[in-house]
Structure 1
Amino acid sequence: MSSQTLREARKYEEALAKLISKEDRPGFHLSPRVGWMNDPNGFSYYNGKYHMFYQYYPYEAAWGPMHWGHAVSDDLLHWEHLTCALAPDEFYDKDGVFSGSAIGLPDGRQLLIYTGVMKRTVENGHLKEFQTQCLAMGDGEDYEKYANNPVLGTDAIPANGNVEHFRDPKIWQKKDGSYRLLVANLKDDGFGQLLLFKSKNALNWEFEKVFAENDGSYGLMWECPDFFELDGQGVIFVSPQDMLPEGFEFHNGNGNVCIIGDYDDATDTFVPKTFQAVDYGIDFYAHQSILTPDGRRVMIGWMQNWDTSGAHDRNLPWFGQMTVPRELEIKNGRLYQNPIRELESMRKDKVEHLNTVIKGDESVLDTEGHNPSSRVYLDGIEGRQIDMTITIHPENVEDIYDKFTIGLASDSKKHTDVIFRPKENIVKLDRKFSGSRRSIVHQRRTKVPFNNGEVKVRIILDRFSMELFFEDGAYAMTATLDTDVSAKEIYFEANKNVIIDVTKYDLSDN
């Protein structure tokens, strides 16, 4: 039986969603049915459909008491919104149904595991938040919360753990049929740890060990953990809060980290070997992955960041979107990611320009290093829903260019630039001229190896976002865009002659 709180949320979203046109949404990125979206939750495959739940506040395009929104898809690109799955309607989750994961049960039901948030007054009269792990079971549309919630209370936290930061459970089933659960926790020293719990039936859990922990090298609290095996390695995803920059690998604020290591399934032991960023752009957080029925590991993240997500207009009908799904692999000890291959079925109207010379001119640059009069526009190379691959070569390898720019989502006043500096092995994403009126993060740089000035990038543009994949997926950069969709020009600019090969497809969302 659904609660009054859940019925009200469903009634509200049903009414308001009718007022949002298809054209006002992304073409192929999941956005909330109405209101606010953040972290992906419960990313799973169940009863022949991909399911994506998400942190959700239907009543305003701003963070509020968290619900779980719900959508399903056949291909991870075309989504159907279902009704709100969970609402904060029990004493143990009255202040928020926080992030979690999902799995199918042997009896045919789908199990959701999430963090329930409850605030209560403690001895000193202060309001304190308690986070516990809770279950709900259902048929893929409607879910009933477990009568014995919470299944992991604050008494399950080790002595050095914090009861206010115990969240984001990630569940998986082992080959022997037993279950494991990874939960993020904050230690007394202010750094995060990932706690591993085990269960025979996914209902009754016991603490097993600390699976991994932060020694202070990567932010403070680790949020939204994911764990899986890929190409013979164990992989942990975490989203650290309050990171400090480390060269061009990690940036300030709330970030994303991939930890690759050795995993012993028999003893549930993970030994980390390498740490890398997952996405080097502006808007990427709380990534979750799934093993598809055909054996691919696919990841989706929240295409936003906490340091800028409060700068939008709260009166918008919706806010927040997910990244394009990305297929993952490990090559040479590094995580690679590329847009899911199903995206190629949306391609149409191929345009190609091969061995095209972009002539450089350093004589009349403005204060930003641009020479608008020397911008090059190529026939048919434009659009805001496109899949475009560009390979950049210097015309003279003995005297390579210092700077090459691709301007996207451009008109007479607005543009977002991808700037290549081969002599420094740096790529910069710059959206300060994209139309935003806020003083938020608009630039980010990363190291990308050039080969004598040559580099390759694949660009996925949707109406309100851009995703860049360099060197066949070795590096990714993601950013949302405020630019009006009418700004669809694309230009090229160089300070010395550059040769480019461009292949562009429009992407149809029909």
Structure 2
Amino acid sequence: MNEKRIRRIPMKTWTTKQRYATYDTYSKKELDRLQKLQRDSKWHLAYHLQPKSGLMNDPNGFTYINGEWRLAYQNFPFGPVHGLKSWENLVSNDLQNWRYIGSGLQPHAPYSMQGVYSGSGLAQGERQFLMYTGNVRTEDGGRISTQLGAWVEPDGELHELSQPLISGQPNGYTAHFRDPQILERDGRYYAILGAQREDKRGTILVYSAERPEGPWQLDGPLDFGFDSLGYMIECPNLAFVDGSVVLIFCPQGLDQSVCAYDNIYPNMYIVADDIDWASRKLVNPGPLHNLDVGFDCYAAQVVNEPNDHAHLISWMGLPDTTYASDEEDWQGCYSLARELHVIGKRLKQLPMMDSLIGAQMPVANATIDLVSVLHFEWQIGVDETLVVGNSKEQLRLKFNDTGVTVDRSGVASSNADDFGKTRSVPLVAGKHSADLYLDRSCFELYVDDGAGVLSGRYFPEDATNWTLKQAADTQVAVTGHKTKSIF
């Protein structure tokens, strides 16, 4: 690779006052300017969800209702920073073709003055109930976390409850108390929340109620086989899949001896046979696994559907991390929606892409479009590196007996390089396959029908004349298809 790096535009330094300035501080002209920057970006994505402007982080309110999927993204519209958050709404009939349908929950007094944080949705007939965290910052820099509720009518009209569902954290816990997932099981409502004990240990709390509006009572911490996993747990989700229960969550500060991971914070999961709500205990939980072994995966949110079906979408980003698109005043995107299945105590994640796969394209001695999917097949025993790129920038894929490795060090702009420039999916003996979904500034690699997933961001300065390079006597068969754009 050409070692000369592109000179970066210095990033704006945001003060706390600027981050939490109310939206009416900004003009429509400024918002239009920011939205145009995102649309015109060379890193604008073709078929991955992205913000219209500013920052996109956690997926929220993921609900299957009235024959369609509703999703919101947490958004600070005015810059690539974690500022004053609101929700922006999307809808899809197939989890592939998404439409923006306007703004959702907005920050306001008295309970969400410094932001509408993460939450979930639940279908109740033709209405949707939202449960979410409101954030207030105190003058001394502290926080007040309040769990709030709202109804969404079939026509999209929003009715926020005037009183909190849960006014504050229970005794023995800090104000790091957020990200409720609301569930209905056997005629009762449950909510699980990420929390931090006063001794700085992360946990998941269970609440229950007879109605979505409450009153909600604290049942206690969830027993999922570990007393503590780091200093804070964020974004806990329960998925009910193929007769099993899957707990998906983000433990911050997790000891590497418990489960190895490469990113600043991991997104993990545990598969159990069932959950006993009376004792708040997962039944026969399996080991801890990485949800995605790639570079950029966090805050995955699940939608539970009828007949033990579930899908998830994750934020292809990480907290406390900067990205090359920050220089254009936008940041963030989402993974493809993934259909979940359980085999043993492991998840399989299948990308929802069938309607977006286009015509077959040549891959040998041909230009590779960065809006495409490449399919690989090989046998264990192969030791080969394939290069997708041009004379200046490349992604490298190494296939050998230990697994599949993606190396993004050859791209001019990546992110969080201090945490490593390679990631790997381990393999066992046999015949293998993988699908590499390329978009203009992100990729997702699904190995062996979703038994392993590796995703990440990359920011090529020059996306022209990319080709696939492999040995003349290659033992890795490759085919390719163009993919359709949804934007």
Match of 1:462 among 439, 461, 464: 439
Q: Offset of 1:117 from its aligned partner?
A: 1.1
Q: How far apart, CA to CA, are the structure 2 residues paired with 1:305 and 1:109?
A: 32
Which residue in 1 is equivalent to 2:317? 304
Q: How far apart, CA to CA, are the structure 1 residues paired with 2:191 and 2:61?
A: 13
Q: How far apart, CA to CA, are the structure 2 residues paired with 1:179 and 1:22?
A: 45
Q: How far apart, CA to CA, are the structure 2 residues paired with 1:293 and 1:29?
A: 26
Q: Offset of 1:119 from its aligned partner?
A: 2.0
Match of 1:499 among 467, 470, 475: 475
Which residue in 2 is equivalent to 1:335? 347
Is residue 273 of structure 2 the alignment partner of residue 287 of structure 1? no
What is the identity, as a one-letter code, of the residue corresponding to 1:114? Answer: Y
Q: How far apart, CA to CA, are the structure 2 residues paired with 1:16 and 1:471?
A: 40
What is the identity, as a one-letter code, of the residue corresponding to 2:205? Answer: L
Q: Offset of 1:507 from its aligned partner?
A: 0.7
> 294-303 or 280-289, which moves further after superposition?
294-303
Q: How far apart, CA to CA, are the structure 2 residues paired with 1:184 and 1:10?
A: 36
> 10-19 or 185-194, which moves further after superposition?
10-19
Q: Offset of 1:193 from its aligned partner?
A: 1.1
SS of the counterpart of 2:204? Answer: strand
- Aligned positions of 1:85-484 closer than 5 A: 85-106=104-125, 108-121=126-139, 126-139=140-153, 141-148=156-163, 150-154=164-168, 157=170, 159-162=171-174, 164-176=175-187, 178-204=188-214, 205-212=216-223, 215=226, 218-246=229-257, 249-264=260-275, 267=278, 268-271=280-283, 272-292=285-305, 296-308=309-321, 310-340=322-352, 343-351=353-361, 378-380=364-366, 382-393=368-379, 400-401=381-382, 403-408=383-388, 410-422=389-401, 425-436=402-413, 440=417, 441-451=419-429, 454-484=431-461
SS of the counterpart of 2:355? Answer: helix
What is the identity, as a one-letter code, of the residue corresponding to 2:309? Answer: R
SS of the counterpart of 1:17? Answer: helix
> 255-264 or 381-390, which moves further after superposition?
381-390
Judge conservation of contact 1:10–1:83 (CA < 8 Å) in 2. no
- Structure 1 residues 18 and 426: CA distance shift in structure 2, 3 A: closer
- Structure 1 residues 55 and 186: CA distance shift in structure 2, 3 A: same
Larger gyration radius, structure 1 or structure 2? 1
Judge conservation of contact 1:384–1:463 (CA < 8 Å) in 2. yes
Q: Offset of 1:138 from its aligned partner?
A: 2.5
Deviations 1:347-396 (A, max 9, x none): 222247xxxxxxxxxxxxxxxxxxxxxxxx714472211122101237xx
Q: How far apart, CA to CA, are the structure 2 residues paired with 1:181 and 1:428?
A: 38
What is the identity, as a one-letter code, of the residue corresponding to 2:267? Answer: N
- Structure 1 residues 313 and 19: CA distance shift in structure 2, 3 A: closer
Q: Offset of 1:406 from its aligned partner?
A: 2.4
- Structure 1 residues 10 and 456: CA distance shift in structure 2, 3 A: farther
RMSD (Å) for aligned C-alpha atoms: 2.9
Q: Offset of 1:194 from its aligned partner?
A: 0.9
> 435-444 or 73-82, which moves further after superposition?
435-444
SS of the counterpart of 1:21? Answer: helix
Q: How far apart, CA to CA, are the structure 2 residues paired with 1:503 and 1:194?
A: 44
Judge conservation of contact 2:425–2:454 (CA < 8 Å) in 1. no
> 343-352 or 255-264, which moves further after superposition?
343-352
In percent, how many aligned pairs have the same letter? 26
Q: Offset of 1:284 from its aligned partner?
A: 0.4
Q: How far apart, CA to CA, are the structure 1 residues paired with 2:101 and 2:440?
A: 23
Q: Offset of 1:483 from its aligned partner?
A: 0.9
SS of the counterpart of 1:323? Answer: coil
Q: Offset of 1:37 from its aligned partner?
A: 0.4
Q: How far apart, CA to CA, are the structure 1 residues paired with 2:221 and 2:227?
A: 16
> Which stretches in structure 2 are left out of the alignment for 5+ residues?
1-20
Judge conservation of contact 2:242–2:309 (CA < 8 Å) in 1. no
Q: Offset of 1:313 from its aligned partner?
A: 4.8
- Structure 1 residues 242 and 497: CA distance shift in structure 2, 3 A: farther
Deviations 1:239-285 (A, max 9, x none): 11133435984235210111111324563532322211110000000
Q: Offset of 1:502 from its aligned partner?
A: 1.9
Q: How many residues align?
A: 459
